[in-house]
Amino acid sequence: MRVLLFSELALTLAVPVPAAQAPAQTQKTQGAPKMESKSPHQVAVLQTDKGSITFELLPSLAPEHVKNFVDLAQSGFYNGTKFHRVIPGFMIQGGDPNTKTPNTSSWGMGNGPRQLKAEFSPPEKASHVRGMVSMARSSDPNSASCQFFIVQKDSTFLDNQYSIFGKVLTGMDVVDAIANTPRDSGDRPLQPITLTKVSIKTE
């Protein structure tokens, strides 16, 4: 069974580049306002039975995990899947294509078209605190594929074990509602909670 473990984040360190020496200011340009460029970033919007959750994707932490999630979301892979594992005071987990079938015994064991190498983040860079989005995997650190989880309560013991790739911007009340829904002995919601649509926006 695919367990909810967070894979380590292979952090790509940026090598500082010496700044080029700026030419001396002329009287014409002196005092001109500086134009700051703002790099666009991608946001995932999860529409669920309980409301919407929006989280920022963090390619600086886990570029391959972000790319994989975006590709799956844009293909419609996640639409109609269910949150199959919810644990109050811990996290909610979804993204398994097997949850589109009525065979609940297979829920939690589904994969996507590819598996990813671990991209674990050092705790000082990103930690599994409330609102972070990370990838579930099996016992193999390089087995993350499509299942993901959202941390409801700080769970820093998962650091250096699972790949963080996002951070919730809005909708933690929805995460709380999903986490606190009645569940069975296998942590599966008694009433299915569907991820009706996942869309990617650039802001």
The answer to whether residue 119 scores a pLDDT higher than 70 is: yes
**pLDDT, tens digit, 9 for 90 and up, residues 3-36:** 444 333 333 223 233 333 333 343 443 444 444 4
Per-residue confidence at 203, pLDDT binned at 50, 70, 90?
Answer: confident
Q: Could you tell me which of 56, 55, 65, 73 has the C-alpha nearest to residue 11?
A: 65
User: 96 is in which domain, residue-wise?
Assistant: 42-202
pLDDT of residue 38: 57
Note whether residue 122 is domain-resident. Answer: yes
Answer positive or negative: Cα dihedral of 36, 42, 47, 50: negative
Indicate whether 97 belongs to any domain: yes
Q: Kindly report, residue by residue over 162-185, the tens digit of the pLDDT.
A: 999 999 999 999 999 999 999 999
Asked whether 121 and 62 are in contact (CB, 8 A), the reply is yes
- The domain tally of the chain equals 1
Q: Residue 191: give its domain's CATH number.
A: 2.40.100.10
In a domain, 33, yes or no: no
- Pick 80 or 38 by higher pLDDT: 80
134, two tokens: 């990370």
Q: Which of 73, 80, 198 is nearest to 146 (CA)?
A: 73
| Mean pLDDT, the chain, whole residue set | 86
143: in domain:
yes
Instruction: Please report whether residue 3 resides in a domain.
Output: no
5: in domain: no
Domain-located, residue 58: yes
Q: Is residue 34 part of a domain?
A: no
